[in-house]
Structure 1
């Protein structure tokens, strides 16, 4: 069966957002007088968990009881972090990863539809779209699934299965682009073919099984996943 759509993860795949998320969280912690600081090593460990609120819960579960805070205080971090993240993106803090724009522009010319499946909130995705994309997201992606659209985030396959349903396609007709073990696991659980371009901020010893692993989505690598427009 022929390829009919490309589905992209966002954080780490479209752009190297993970360290910007880390810096945004640290700035939000400081603004709210929460005595936490995530360095890059801590953040790499947290990338095994999808979603900002979920990462904070995971982080504090490993702290002494006296250093933990209420659920309400964790939730209060979210809007502050999102504001700071959006401000950083609006200031030009990030660009798309190499090859991403060229692939997204070439795909529809070749008759391929494009979609997004991310564990990030719709607000976070929109901030990245406004800061990094050259056109409104709805003009580039036919389907956008965010963490707000599902009840279970990656590594659960729900987001990918929902995207497939909205595209009206089968697993054999799509190709997923991911960067992390948790996202890769989600796509594999949905029985989709995956191309991995590992994030610089991710674990260096990640196992992606038999999936194709590439350094980037630059044009020279497209034939490796069968795209030769």
Structure 2
């Protein structure tokens, strides 16, 4: 599929791991929720890295139960118990964000500002809950953050999770754009697969928990979006020839 930088009209951002290195706080929040319910469960960093292959917090709990406590899945109230755990986990996560434990990754705020100034449209495309999105972006972009984005797709839409392309297709429909009019910014292989299946080219900024994944199909894999004086390094793919991702760089990658 061919793309053209001359037709770039929108940037589509994933959230967890892409806008901010959130996954470690998510892991700690899961463990706090387990402990709060008197459960002797603990997700280590290595285990959590494996569980992140499953998109969605409730889905992640269920997948882990299938591995470690399969008999619990037979209990008639298991869906309610998973929902309670996930709600408590979200409470712990949002409290951590509100306490100032998260910051945007290098280059994110700069690129959002540049895109807005240039008249490009912006969207959020994530499978995390809207509560998590609200907490993170209110703390990092301000309480009026929603005004920056023309479409916001979160896990609350009830769509199939990435790597399914549904969240991207939903967003493109809301924007009234074709996939080739956009660039997605993602940090995981699941995100790359979802965007590419919807016809959207993808730039990857790998994160703490996604390093070493197979990002086949991405335009390039960078350490982050970079800043003047704090350049990214190219992990894989096309070398864009600059130290920070701006609109000019994205258009070069698309050519």
Structure 2 spans left out of the alignment, 5+ residues: 228-242
Contact 1:26 1:36 in 2 (8 A): yes
How high is the TM-score relative to the length of structure 2? 0.84
Q: What is residue 134 of structure 1 aligned with on the other side? A: 142
Q: What is residue 196 of structure 1 aligned with on the other side? A: 204
Residues 138 and 83 from structure 1, CA distance in 2 versus in 1: closer, same or farther, beyond 3 angstroms?
Answer: same
Separation (CA, whole Å) in 1 of partners of 2:205 and 2:159: 26
- Are residues 1:208 and 2:231 paired? no
Q: Secondary structure at the match of 1:226?
A: helix
Q: What is residue 95 of structure 1 aligned with on the other side? A: 103
Separation (CA, whole Å) in 2 of partners of 1:62 and 1:135: 40
For residue 59 of structure 1, report the CA deviation from its aligned partner.
Answer: 0.7
- Are residues 1:176 and 2:201 paired? no
Q: Secondary structure at the match of 2:244?
A: helix
Contact 2:196 2:217 in 1 (8 A): no
For residue 135 of structure 1, report the CA deviation from its aligned partner.
Answer: 4.8
Contact 1:129 1:136 in 2 (8 A): no
How high is the TM-score relative to the length of structure 1? 0.93
Q: What is residue 185 of structure 1 aligned with on the other side? A: 193
For residue 226 of structure 1, report the CA deviation from its aligned partner.
Answer: 2.1
Q: What is residue 244 of structure 2 aligned with on the other side? A: 221
Instruction: Count the aligned residue pairs.
Output: 227
Residues 94 and 39 from structure 1, CA distance in 2 versus in 1: closer, same or farther, beyond 3 angstroms?
Answer: same
Matches within 5 A, 1:44-59: 44-59=49-64
- Are residues 1:86 and 2:94 paired? yes
Contact 2:192 2:217 in 1 (8 A): no
Structure 1 spans left out of the alignment, 5+ residues: none
Q: Secondary structure at the match of 2:18?
A: coil
Q: Secondary structure at the match of 1:72?
A: helix
Deviations 1:87-144 (A, max 9, x none): 1000000100000000011101112111000001111111112222235221211110
Residues 35 and 195 from structure 1, CA distance in 2 versus in 1: closer, same or farther, beyond 3 angstroms?
Answer: same
Separation (CA, whole Å) in 2 of partners of 1:3 and 1:38: 41
Separation (CA, whole Å) in 2 of partners of 1:160 and 1:32: 36
Q: What is residue 116 of structure 1 aligned with on the other side? A: 124
Instruction: Give the one of 27, 43, 46 matched to 2:32.
Output: 27
CA RMSD of aligned residues (A): 1.7
Q: Secondary structure at the match of 1:62?
A: helix
Separation (CA, whole Å) in 2 of partners of 1:3 and 1:151: 26
Q: 4+ residue stretches of structure 1 with deviation over 3 A?
A: 64-69
